[in-house]
Every structure is written in structure tokens, then in C-alpha cells.
Homo-oligomer: A and B are copies of this chain.
Amino acid sequence: MFEARLISATILKKILDAIKDLLNEGTFDCSDSGIQLQAMDNSHVSLVSLTLRSDGFDKFRCDRNISMGMNLSSMAKILKCANNDDTVTIKAQDNADTVTFMFESPNHEKVSDYEMKLMNLDQEHLGIPETDYSCVVRMPSMEFARICRDLAQFSESMVICCTKEGVKFSAFGDVGSANVKLAQTSSVDKEDEAVVIEMQEPVTLTFACRYLNAFTKASPLSGQVQLSMSADVPLVVEYRIQDLGHIRYYLAPKIEDDES
């Protein structure tokens, strides 16, 4: 028996919004420590890794480890039926071939359940080595989303250049060139608005805008995003999910000689 409950359906809707454009389907690995999903995106370029800790749920029970392969666009259809203030419960029997989503209104007078068929998906778990990154940037998630959207107008790829003073995002295309510079924040009233840079050595890396833009679909999950970069290793874009876990996206930099 697997059962996991969240007081608010909003958080689960936002999580699905953060992955459904990258993944058609995904396997949720459930154990008593929580729920994990790890998958390459549909075009096998970037990696998505989601971790939800069991202690972040309002109720969590997982008698036996269970892996549930789900069609994410079907799951999105189902979650669209939940009101934001509904309680959501995910339930499955051991060895079941279906999963049930139950939504309850705050006054308990509306109760909906949606049963969805599970899928058998191939999956290989990639070991992701812990790395000390040359630069770690924390910045407002909406600002990062805005910059990725803006620069994607000018080129398919963008350069992120990080130094002690700040971080610069650049794009070069037919229309012209674009540079957006963010200075490290001296002081902020609201923590979410800070730009903080931890630098061992400066880096300049090039990434495909298309994937960065897909990652920013996670922005509603967190006020801040963290970018971890080192030369020649994948960028990590991380969004914390308050009290519950995090979602991380990995994307390898483009090699200099690449055509954009």
C-alpha cells in the first residue's frame, strides 16, 4: 500500500508544470524516504531529477518500494481537475497497475477520484557525482526566467559568464548582440530578491536557450534558483521546494566550435 497526501494541490500542479514539457512520461520511485523521479528529457539532452522527502508530506505511507510509470500529460489532465485549495492524496496498492488521485475540497463536500493506468518504463538511474563547482549563483527565479526568455529572442544559445563581481548572460544573433549583467546584491530587504555569487574561479559557458527556458517552468516553485557551474561539466539548475525537496536540471555546456 502506497499513500501520500498533500494539504494543497497547488504544489503538485507546479511540480508537474516543471517537468511535463521536458518529459512525456516518468517513473516515480517511492520508498519510505520519499518519492524520486530521474529521467532524461524527451530529446535525451538534459536530465531532470526530482526529490520529494516523505517527511514533507502531510501523510506518507509506503509499505513496499514501488515504481510507478506515469504518462505525464495524462497526469497533468487529472491535476487540472483539482482546485488549488483541495487536499490531494496519491494512492496505489502494492503490485497495482493503476494509481488513484483523490481531491477533497476544504469542506469535504466535494470529493473526486481519478484512476490512471500505470506504464512500464525502461529506466536507468544515472549516478550523479557530487562536485565542487567553480561558481554557484543564487538569484531570483523570475529574473532568471525573464533573462532566458529575453535572450532566446536573439539566439539559440546563450553564454553565462560568472566572475566575483557578477554574472553576465549574453546572446549573439542576426538582430545584434545582447548582454544582461547582474551585480552581486549588496543588501536586500527580501531574501528572494538577492543575487549571491560564490566563486572559486571564473567560468564562461555556453548553453542551449531552449533547455534553460524549459527549466524555468519550475520558477513558481521557488523564489530563488541556484546555478552551479564548472568548466566542461553539466550546469545544475536547482529549485528548492519548500519543506518537501527540490528539482534539479542538468545540462551540458555547448562545445565552443559548435554551431549554435
Residue numbers of A with Cβ under 8 A of B are 71, 74, 77-78, 80-81, 98, 108-117, 143, 150, 153-154, 175-183, 185, 195
Contact = CB atoms under 8 A, between A and B. Distances in A.
- Chain copies in the assembled complex: 3
5 contacts: A71-B175, A74-B176, A78-B176, A109-B182, A114-B176
A150 B71 CA distance: 18
A76 to B, nearest CB: 10
Nearest to A114: B178
Question: Which applies to chain A's interface (DSSP): helix, strand, loop or mixed?
Answer: strand
A115 B78 CA distance: 46
Interface centre among A71, A98, A112, A177 (most CB of B within 10 A): A112
A135 B109 CA distance: 19
A120 to B, nearest CB: 16
Contacts of A114: 176-179
A143 to B, nearest CB: 7
Contacts of A113: 178-179
A175 B78 contact: yes
